Structure 1
Amino acid sequence: MQHLSFIQINESSLLISFGELIHEYVHARVMQAKAAIEANPFPGFVETVPAYTSLAVYYNPVLVEKKNESVSVTVLQSVQHLLETVAADQLTSSGALVEIPVCYDPVFAPDLITTADALKLSVEELINIHAAKTYKVFMIGFTPGFPYMGTVDERIFTQRKTQPRLRVEPGSVAVAGNQTGIYPFATPGGWNIIGRTPLLLFDRHRSNPFLLKAGDEVKFKPISKEEFETLSMVHTKQS
């Protein structure tokens, strides 16, 4: 792995930067580094947290076997050596392909019509374009379980709302800029809501409560309002 920069955040975390370009290739390198470090953990390693173009490495400084003048330098050199010696084709990440049903009915999509109008598209065109691609989950953030996914077709690049909503319903599927995302909880939000999924992105009863993780791929499947209600009842009973 070439052209990386390493930034010591604090006494228990290191940031690996892969540049500033948001692209699936760059994110693949982030996930490869994550896989390499997790497959070859150094003493004191805790976890990694990926973002669009960077990877945060967290560790317990008390458990690190200091081999240099400081714990932070020891960790830095360990990670650098690992990423220099592990071949890129040996690094794999375990992303899953997840199909997510979405109802684009205006009752669940308060910004669907205005967004289509702003983009000079019909509602049907907006829905078809949004559902046509398979999206990469670049990172989880903003609120627990919120997936930042991209990139959307350039025809549906759109600005955030000038006035954010005080409440966005859980499961709301939205677009902003070149991204699409899903709100796991009822929170304020400034993205354009164009649909809603009946799936629970966070369910404390699951062994892994989060439906999605960085590195996964998402395919949206349009469903009717009736299908939404049926699936919603099923998932409510299971939760």
Structure 2
Amino acid sequence: MTDVEVVDVGTRACLVEVDDAVAAASLAAWVRGAGLAVEEVVPAARTVLLDGVDPAAVRALLPGWSAERAAVPGPLVSVAVRYSGPDLERVAGHWGCTVEEVVELHTSLEFTSTFCGFAPGFAYLAGLPADRAVPRLETPRARVAPGSVALADTWCGVYPTASPGGWLLLGTTDADLWDVGRAEPALLAPGTRVRFEARR
């Protein structure tokens, strides 16, 4: 088993600390399929919160998991994007390429939703190569439009509602990211694979 740290959060919850978001996603998927009696599994960037569970049971189960265990591939969702964002040229300059090449690279990648946070329906999508990491804006925008597709560091995300934000904006989508009428309200729930498609 990969070294992990289990921190008790009261008597019926614990926080499992791991190395990175990929390990957190792998652990969360494994726990969901391991038959552990747990009410909620919440992955984050380097942790997994297990709520409604005996921490001792978690410690007993963890030797069966390793960070090398790949998560079972989730459903694939295609997101149509109008690539007309205000930061396209900034990203192109950072990557040393053209705007067209930014779009070509972004649409060639398969991203994976590793965890949700910040706002209901906002998924942190992993899959951008480390050499394509981009900085956040020094001064965040007071308002980012809903449906904005953005990059920050090696993350990609889509703003589900209007909010402040400092990520670099590539374009917009009409995809319905959060709908409480669905069985799973988040369109890009953790584990979902995501491909972006250019549209006019």
Normalised to the residue count of structure 1, the TM-score between the two structures is 0.75
- Name the aligned partner's letter for residue 26 of structure 2: R
1:139–1:147 CA contact under 8 A, matched in 2: yes
Question: CA offset at residue 205 of structure 1?
Answer: 3.2
Partner of 1:56: 49
Structure 2: gaps spanning 5 or more residues: none
Cα deviations by residue, 1:70-92 (Å, 9 ceiling, x for unpaired): xxxxx222112223357999996
Q: How far apart in 2 are the matches of 1:48 and 1:169?
A: 30
Amino acid at match of 1:7: V
CA 1:124–1:163: 2 relative to 1, 3 Å: same
Q: Distance in 2 between matches of 1:203 and 1:76?
A: 33
Greater fraction of residues in helix: 1
Question: Percent identity, aligned pairs only?
Answer: 31
Amino acid at match of 1:206: R
User: How far apart, in 1, do the equivalents of 2:96 and 2:143 lie?
Assistant: 27
In 2: Cα distance, 1:186 partner to 1:88 partner: 36
| Deviates most, 166-175 or 10-19 | 10-19
Is 1:9 matched with 2:2? no
Q: Which string of whole-angstrom CA distances, capped at 9 and with x for unpartnered residues, describes residues 166-185 of structure 1?
A: 11111100001111110000
Aligned-residue offset at 1:189: 0.4
- Cα distance 1:57–1:192, how it changes in 2: closer, same or farther (>3 A)? same
Matched, 1:182 2:179: no
Mapped to 2, the partners of 1:87 and 1:112 lie a distance apart of: 38
Give the residue type in structure 1 aligned to 2:31: K
> Which structure is higher in RCO with an 8 Å CA cutoff and minimum separation 6?
2
Say which SS state the counterpart of residue 184 (structure 1) adopts. coil
Inter-CA distance 120–208: structure 2 relative to 1 (3 Å threshold):
same
- Bigger mean CA offset, 136-145 vs 200-209: 200-209
Cα distance, 1:140 vs. partner? 0.2
1:47 maps to what in 2?
Answer: 40
Give the aligned CA root-mean-square deviation in angstroms: 2.5
Aligned residue number for residue 33 of structure 1: 30
State which of 49, 55, 64 in structure 2 corresponds to 1:76: 55
Q: 1:159 aligns with which of 135, 139, 159?
A: 135
- Name the CA distance, whole Å, in 2 between partners of 1:215 and 1:96: 8
**Match among 218, 222, 229 for residue 194 of structure 2:** 218
Q: Quick check: 1:126–1:156 contact (8 Å CA) kept in 2?
A: no
* Number of aligned residues: 200
1:141 counterpart (86, 111, 117): 117
* Separation of aligned partners in 2, 1:168 and 1:187: 5
| 1:92-111 → structure 2 map (5 Å cutoff) | 93=72, 95-104=74-83, 106=84, 109-111=85-87
Q: Which residue among 168, 182, 189 is the counterpart of 1:206? A: 182
The structure with the largest alpha-carbon Rg is: 1
